[in-house]
Amino acid sequence: MIRVSTKEKIVKAKKLFYMTALVPLLIIFGFFAWFLTIMFEGESPSLILEPKPEFLSQPQEFSLKISDEKRGLRLIIVSVKQNGMDMILTQEVFPFEGLLNAKGVHLYEKKFILDPASLKLAQGSLDLHVQARDYSRRGGGDGNLSMLRHTIILDSIPPSIRAVSRMHNINVGGSGLVIYQTSSDTASSGLFVDDVFYPGFPDSNNSPKGIHHCYFALPHNTNTHPKIRLWARDKAGNCIETSFYYHIRKKTFRRDKMEISDRFIESMLPYFSSFHPIDPDESNIKNFMKINNVLREENDKILYGLRQNTCAERLWEGPWLRQKNSATRAQFADHRLYYYKGEKVDEKFHLGVDLASLANSIVEASNHGRVIYADRLGIYGLTVVLDHGQGLSSVYGHLSRIDVTLGQEVKKGAPLGLTGQTGLAGGDHLHFSIMVNGVYVNPIEWWDNNWIEDNINKKFALVK
Ligand SMILES: [Zn+2]
């Protein structure tokens, strides 16, 4: 017979007590603790407002995303505050639904428009307010609060811009300069010729406030009535356009018949086949057309892109140099008609001047500048491009040798390399171009001291 001691009996009774009373109590206590942490959770709703502009000039659409994963959203208020006034744009109260608001709103997305005119907002600072509360029992039962305040400057008044220079006589295919003044809120300005933009540059420190100047081009193929106007934009995005007086001088350009022979094409192909796909089974003329069109377009795109590398300071001084002792073989904007076996096969405009002298003559920098390209460039062969600042650049093509490196600063007259006939060239010559913000212009003007005096220097003298 097993005898149970009193001590063992006590232990058993204690165990029973724990099992029947304390454990359920603990479970109940645990449940309440869990329930309370849920009821009183402290996580505020998350607010995302997009966009967050610094300035406002016209009706602006905003998108709002508010979420509260735990207890769900109770209420949101979107309002605008200005000069002590509080205008509510959106207010929503969400019902409590399901056990612990499980079926309530946990994610709210809305787009709304802030229209300064319809709200009769004044110019200047205003605050966009977003508030959201959830269904937590915190905050004295009001729930966790999230607030977002975004300050915006309302500015719907455009900047002002006016021309200061006079006498803008511009040749088709030529260059122009306009000096203008803008109001102090201007963030960017320049000039449009039809839909091509030419950026303006602020003048030196000792000229009156807001004075800018802008070099622009009238392309050789400009239509009869190009629309030229000054343009400015402020930080808020308000834009203004103003016209100014100008006179356009029409120009006629030469026509030039170019005979393309098989011998010429065959002499070209080996040079191009090293870097441009040439199909040996294709006819000579088809390969030529590919070079003269596809490759030319690629090359011109690169040249046009170089305008981005211009520096904001003026680097040049006085008239541009023309290649020494050279004869003009082709003029600016010659309309070239390509003939093959008596038939017209292509046409292009020659947007530079071909200057020929002795083979392998030294090519000099036409003005002070910085090398922004020094490499082979398809149809232009070995090519150097100089930036002269403020959108002006010069191009030297068909070189047989390049003696400068990218980024190098060069003085007017400094040797850049030697003339040659690399690329699409029939003989040793320099293909020389000047560009204004990537648009080809007639170099004749920039070679001419009188033209620079009348069209550039006299205009700057006005504001000094
Ligand atoms: Zn040329």
The CA distances from residue 173 to 162, 209, 325, in Å, are: 25, 32, 25
The number of residues making up the chain comes to 464
| Mean pLDDT within 204-217 | 85
User: CATH no. for residue 433?
Assistant: 2.70.70.10
Alpha helix ranges (H) inside 206-312: 262-273, 284-290, 296-305
Q: Count the domains in the chain.
A: 3
Q: Is the pLDDT of residue 322 over 60?
A: yes
**Could you tell me the pLDDT band of residue 42, with boundaries at 50, 70 and 90?**
confident
Tell whether 360 and 434 lie within a shared domain: yes
The helix, strand and coil proportions of the chain, stated in percent and rounded to the nearest 5, come to 20, 40, 40
432 CA to centre of ligand 1 in angstroms: 7
172 CA to centre of ligand 1 in angstroms: 19
**Any domain includes 86:** yes
Residue 184 DSSP label: T
The CA distances from residue 184 to 206, 211, 212, 213, in Å, are: 16, 10, 12, 15
433 CA to centre of ligand 1 in angstroms: 8
126 CA to centre of ligand 1 in angstroms: 59
What pLDDT, in 10s, does the model give residues 29-39? Answer: 887 877 777 77
Ramachandran angles phi, psi of 226, nearest 5°: -65, 150
Q: What is the pLDDT of residue 207?
A: 65
Q: What is the pLDDT of residue 333?
A: 94
Q: Is the pLDDT of residue 2 over 60?
A: no
The torsion angle over the Cα atoms of residues 204, 207, 208 and 209, rounded to 10 degrees, is: 10
424 CA to centre of ligand 1 in angstroms: 9
**Could you tell me the pLDDT band of residue 277, with boundaries at 50, 70 and 90?**
confident
Most confident of 163-172, 207-216, 383-392: 383-392
Q: Which amino acid is at 12?
A: K
Alpha helix ranges (H) inside 171-295: 262-273, 284-290
Backbone dihedral region for residue 68 (phi beyond 0: left; psi -120 to 50: alpha; all else: beta):
beta
Range of the domain at 51: 46-154
**Any domain includes 21:** no
Tell whether 268 and 405 lie within a shared domain: yes
431 CA to centre of ligand 1 in angstroms: 4
Tell whether 221 and 306 lie within a shared domain: no
327 CA to centre of ligand 1 in angstroms: 13
**Any domain includes 25:** no
Among 311, 334, 305, 313, smallest CA distance to 442 is for 334
304 CA to centre of ligand 1 in angstroms: 17
> CB 331: neighbour CB atoms within 10 A?
16
Tell whether 359 and 431 lie within a shared domain: yes
Using only C-alpha atoms, the chain has a radius of gyration, in whole angstroms, of 37
Tell whether 212 and 262 lie within a shared domain: no
Tell whether 276 and 418 lie within a shared domain: yes
Tell whether 123 and 215 lie within a shared domain: no
CA atoms in the 13 A half-sphere facing the CB of 222 = 28
303 CA to centre of ligand 1 in angstroms: 14
User: CATH no. for residue 83?
Assistant: 2.60.40.10
270 CA to centre of ligand 1 in angstroms: 20
Q: Is the pLDDT of residue 236 over 60?
A: yes
Among 38, 122, 30, 21, smallest CA distance to 80 is for 122
| Mean pLDDT within 94-110 | 90
Tell whether 340 and 417 lie within a shared domain: yes
Question: To which H or E segment does residue 420 belong?
Answer: none
Contacts of residue 186, Cβ cutoff 8 Å, sequence gap at least 6: 159, 161, 210, 232, 233, 234
146 CA to centre of ligand 1 in angstroms: 68
**Any domain includes 458:** no
Among 244, 252, 254, smallest CA distance to 169 is for 244
pTM of the model: 0.80
What pLDDT, in 10s, does the model give residues 288-298? Answer: 999 999 999 99
Tell whether 104 and 189 lie within a shared domain: no
What pLDDT, in 10s, does the model give residues 237-250? Answer: 999 999 999 999 99
Cβ contact 104:135 at 8 Å:
yes
Would strands 186-193 and 211-217 be described as parallel, antiparallel, or unpaired? unpaired
Q: List beta partners, residue 197.
A: 192
Q: Is the pLDDT of residue 211 over 60?
A: yes
Q: Give the angle subtended at the CA of 463 by the CAs of 462 and 464, to the nearest 5°.
A: 100
Helices H / strands E in the chain, number of each:
8, 32
Of all residues in the chain, the percent with pLDDT exceeding 70 is 98
425 CA to centre of ligand 1 in angstroms: 8
Q: Give the angle subtended at the CA of 5 by the CAs of 2 and 11, to the nearest 5°.
A: 120
Of 127, 154, 181, which one is at a domain's C-terminal end?
154
**Any domain includes 18:** no
382 CA to centre of ligand 1 in angstroms: 13
Of 114, 136, 154, which one is at a domain's C-terminal end?
154
350 CA to centre of ligand 1 in angstroms: 6
Give the span between the Cα atoms of 402 and 416, in whole angstroms.
6
297 CA to centre of ligand 1 in angstroms: 15
**Any domain includes 65:** yes
353 CA to centre of ligand 1 in angstroms: 6
**Could you tell me the pLDDT band of residue 206, with boundaries at 50, 70 and 90?**
low
Burial class (CB in 10 A: 0-12, 13-18, 19+), 93: exposed
**Any domain includes 123:** yes
When mean pLDDT is compared across 223-237, 267-281, 396-410, 449-463, the lowest value belongs to: 267-281
Q: What is the pLDDT of residue 324?
A: 95
- State both tokens at 22: 């304390």
83 CA to centre of ligand 1 in angstroms: 66
Q: What is the pLDDT of residue 280?
A: 84
Q: Which amino acid is at 220?
A: H
What pLDDT, in 10s, does the model give residues 131-160? Answer: 999 998 887 778 899 999 999 999 999 999
Is the dihedral angle over the CA atoms 244, 251, 295, 354 positive or is it negative? negative
Q: Is the pLDDT of residue 66 over 70?
A: yes
When mean pLDDT is compared across 221-225, 287-291, 406-410, the lowest value belongs to: 221-225
Among 347, 424, 430, smallest CA distance to 384 is for 430
Tell whether 93 and 165 lie within a shared domain: no
330 CA to centre of ligand 1 in angstroms: 7
Give the span between the Cα atoms of 357 and 324, in whole angstroms.
8
378 CA to centre of ligand 1 in angstroms: 13
322 CA to centre of ligand 1 in angstroms: 14
Of 154, 172, 205, which one is at a domain's C-terminal end?
154
Tell whether 107 and 181 lie within a shared domain: no
When mean pLDDT is compared across 5-19, 46-60, 309-323, 362-376, the lowest value belongs to: 5-19
| Mean pLDDT within 83-104 | 90
Would strands 334-340 and 255-259 be described as parallel, antiparallel, or unpaired? parallel
355 CA to centre of ligand 1 in angstroms: 8
Cβ contact 252:332 at 8 Å:
no
Tell whether 92 and 118 lie within a shared domain: yes
Ramachandran angles phi, psi of 109, nearest 5°: -125, 135
| Mean pLDDT within 85-97 | 92
**Any domain includes 103:** yes
Q: Is the pLDDT of residue 61 over 60?
A: yes
Q: What is the pLDDT of residue 124?
A: 93
Please provide the average confidence, as pLDDT, over all residues in the chain: 92
